[in-house]
Structure 1
Amino acid sequence: MPLKKLVPFFFNFQLKPIVGIEQSWWPSILQAQHRKMQKFIVFFSLALCISPISSQAQTNQGSAITPLPFQLFLPKNEADPKRVDAIKNNALLVFLHGSGERGSDNNAQLKHGAEFFKQLAQGHNTVVLVPQCPEDLSWHNGSSEITKSGRKYRYPKGLKTNRVLDILEKLIDSVVIAQNIDKAKIKIGGLSMGGMGTLELLRRRPEYYQRAFVICGGGNKALARQIGQTPIWFFHGEEDQVVLPKYANKLYR
């Protein structure tokens, strides 16, 4: 389904990507309203190293920070010890959850997205990494406050230090090596706070990710010039009162 037909179906206004994006890996199940989003994730995790263990939660240890839990979805053949080397040059999708799924249980981050990730891993030779942000930290460096007109976000114009993203980037690099990831097939996306974090990661390493998607996210409009060469899909519900659509729309305009 062409983007120009798909976007108006999800939105009451058109919000086009900064750059066009191929759709062979994109499911039709994504819904774009913040409060009514319907995505599903199956609880399926494996070790960073190729392992016959079929379900195992992992924690990435970092200094001076709460350990970063994560779940890893692997293609079917990667879970079969007899075919451990059968798949080479896998693709990688990194998905960042929203603020409500933060914590340390290594489970809450699986609230949104399931069948999409399961199908992606099992049907498209794609490894899916779903980390969990600690409760008191954030995927992005912005701030927000409640005003009479709704929640207002402020995003820094320049790049700032973010401890949890530092550790996440090391985790991503480890997965790329351990799972035979083709560096030309690394994708990233996120929901709400995770969408904002997606834009932060694109700014930190603009040449690293092949393409991205941002659901109900936003960022400083200066980002558009910094990450404009990366194909990005924006999804945002017009009635979203948590993250107003204007924050995503400014990036496109």
Structure 2
Amino acid sequence: MAIEHRSGLLPYLFSVASSDANKPAPLVLFLHGARDRGNDLNILLKWGLPRFVNESSPLPYFFLAPQLPEGQTWVERESDVIALLDNFIASRSIDPSRVILSGFSLGTAGAWHIGASHGDRFAGLVAVSGRVPQTLEPNQLAALKEIPIQIFQGAKDEKLSIEDTQKIVDTLRVAGGQVDFTVLAEGDHFIADEVYSDPKLQQWFVSQSRRTSVAV
């Protein structure tokens, strides 16, 4: 796993795909939770998807995980996340039609917001232990109907209601969205290790593709 700080961009972790350098590979863009904010990118490596990627053999996708400063949210830094994504796609052998957006907790709120605002940029969205931000209007949520979505939540999560999440799932499905909702019966809020290490989800990351590539 590499760490980079670039002027004008959020600091980030990244890893390079294991695939043929001449063949563009997918990218997974990960947005961390509230407790991982700060100025030390090594914090992100302690658990969840960043740790899985760091401890695995080279994976068939590029991985990008920016870090927020203390006290900020992904909704506030939406334009910076997209700028970082554009920069990364322009400088790497990435297939822009195969970009997956995922978030945990605070990062899930960011993923919902950014996914709804830039629906033509993503081939899939993975939401783990997080709610839809209140600022997201129903018509904006409906914009996600074109993006396959995976939602994961622990049944014992004291921060989130299964019923509230189910309402979001129902809203998306009524709008024509493709949504899979997985409840981990023994899971609490911190289910990221279990979710992201699942081989089925890892395969899902590389099996999604937008119908048309996005010019960047």
Report SS of the residue matched to 2:35: helix
Normalized per residue, the structure richer in helix is 2
Pair 1:69-2:4 in alignment: no
SS at match of 1:113: helix
Change (3 A) 1:208 1:114: closer
The 1:183–1:109 alpha-carbon spacing in structure 2 relative to 1, beyond 3 Å, is same
Task: Write out per-residue CA displacement over residues 96-144 of structure 1, whole angstroms, 9 at most, x where no aligned residue.
Answer: 11101000112212232246424877231x110011111110113xxxx
Question: Once superposed, which parts of structure 1, at least 4 consecutive aligned residues long, lie more than 4 Å away?
Answer: 118-121
Q: Go from structure 1 to structure 2 and tell me whether the alpha carbon gap of 1:243 and 1:108 turns closer, same or farther (over 3 Å shift).
A: farther
- Say if 1:224 and 1:252, in contact at 8 Å, map to a contact too: no
| CA distance, structure 2, for counterparts of residue 120 and residue 207 of structure 1 | 30
Contact 2:13-2:66 at 8 Å conserved across structures: yes
Which of the pair has more CA radius of gyration? 1
Partner residue of 1:192 out of 81, 86, 105: 105
**What corresponds to 1:113 in structure 2?**
49
Native 8 Å contact 2:53 2:59 kept in 1: no
* Aligned residue in 1 for 2:66: 131
Which runs of 5 or more residues in structure 1 are unaligned? 1-43, 46-56, 78-84, 141-161
Q: Is 1:239 matched up with 2:160?
A: no
Give the match for residue 5 of structure 1: none
Bigger relative contact order (CA 8 A; separation at least 6)? 1
Separation in structure 1 between the aligned mates of residue 57 and residue 11 of structure 2, nearest angstrom? 19
Q: TM-score, normalised by structure 2?
A: 0.69
Q: CA deviation at 1:228?
A: 1.4
1:3-152 equivalences under 5 Å are 44-45=1-2, 57-62=3-8, 68-76=10-18, 86-111=21-46, 112-114=48-50, 116-118=52-54, 122-124=58-60, 126-140=61-75
1:190–1:137 CA distance, 2 compared to 1 (3 A): same
Whole-Å Cα distance in 1 between the matches of residues 103 and 56 of structure 2? 16
How far apart, CA to CA, are the structure 1 residues paired with 2:63 and 2:70?
A: 22
Where does residue 119 of structure 2 map in the other structure?
A: 206
Identity %: 24
Tell me the SS of whatever aligns to 1:233: strand
Inter-CA distance 243–177: structure 2 relative to 1 (3 Å threshold): same
Q: Deviations over 1:18-65 (max 9, x none)?
A: xxxxxxxxxxxxxxxxxxxxxxxxxx11xxxxxxxxxxx212433xxx
Query: What is residue 207 of structure 2 aligned with on the other side?
Result: none
Structure 2 residue matching 1:107: 3-state secondary structure: helix
Contact kept? 2:44, 2:50, Cα under 8 Å: no
CA positional deviation for 1:86? 3.0
Aligned length: 165
For the aligned residue pairs, the C-alpha RMSD in angstroms reads 2.2
- One-letter code aligned to 1:68: L
**2:99–2:121 CA contact under 8 A, matched in 1:** yes
Query: Residues of 2 paired with 1:208 and 1:61: CA distance?
Result: 24
- Report the CA distance between 1:92 and its aligned residue: 0.5
Q: Which runs of 5+ in 2 are unaligned?
A: 171-216
